[in-house]
Amino acid sequence: NAGVTQTPKFQVLKTGQSMTLQCAQDMNHNSMYWYRQDPGMGLRLIYYSASEGTTDKGEVPNGYNVSRLNKREFSLRLESAAPSQTSVYFCASNSGAGYNSPLHFGNGTRLTVT
């Protein structure tokens, strides 16, 4: 039981390049989330998917797109990377969109955009 798995662990991009961050969970969770973590700013929600087939914007969605490929997988795409997107990205999941279900996080993808 791996929990939430993110790939890659590290990535360096040049400004304007595109990439997709992958996330998969094996806990049969309905809801999945993408957060970014920046020093002094905590975790900020980028996009989330309350259930398979639905996605919604979070606090900081600009410059990102997401795809809920199936119940297990939720990917985050940067179409044209910018230095402001240098951050650590975390995928998380829980059994429902409500707060009674704890979030389970992956170990993060460390992205640097030069």
Partner 1 sequence: GQQLNQSPQSMFIQEGEDVSMNCTSSSIFNTWLWYKQDPGEGPVLLIALYKAGELTSNGRLTAQFGITRKDSFLNISASIPSDVGIYFCAGPPSNQGGKLIFGQGTELSVKP
Which residues sit at the interface with partner 1, rule CB under 8 A?
A: 4, 33, 35, 40-45, 48, 58-59, 90, 92, 97-100, 102-103, 105-108
Task: Kindly give, in sequence order, each residue whose CB lies less than 8 Å from that of residue 107, ignoring residues fewer than 6 positions away.
Answer: 6, 9
Question: In Å, what is the CA distance from 101 to each residue of 21, 45, 73, 83, 114?
Answer: 24, 17, 19, 34, 37
Is the CB of 91 or the CB of 113 nearer to partner 1?
Answer: 91
CB of 74 to partner 1, least distance (A): 15
Name which of 10 and 14 has its Cβ closer to partner 1: 10
For residue 23, the minimal CB distance to partner 1 (Å) is 11
Report how far residue 39's alpha carbon sits from residue 65's, in angstroms, rounded to the nearest whole number.
23
CB of residue 80 to partner 1, shortest distance in Å:
25
- Closer to partner 1 by CB, 5 or 86: give it: 5
Distance CA 22, CA 83 (A): 20
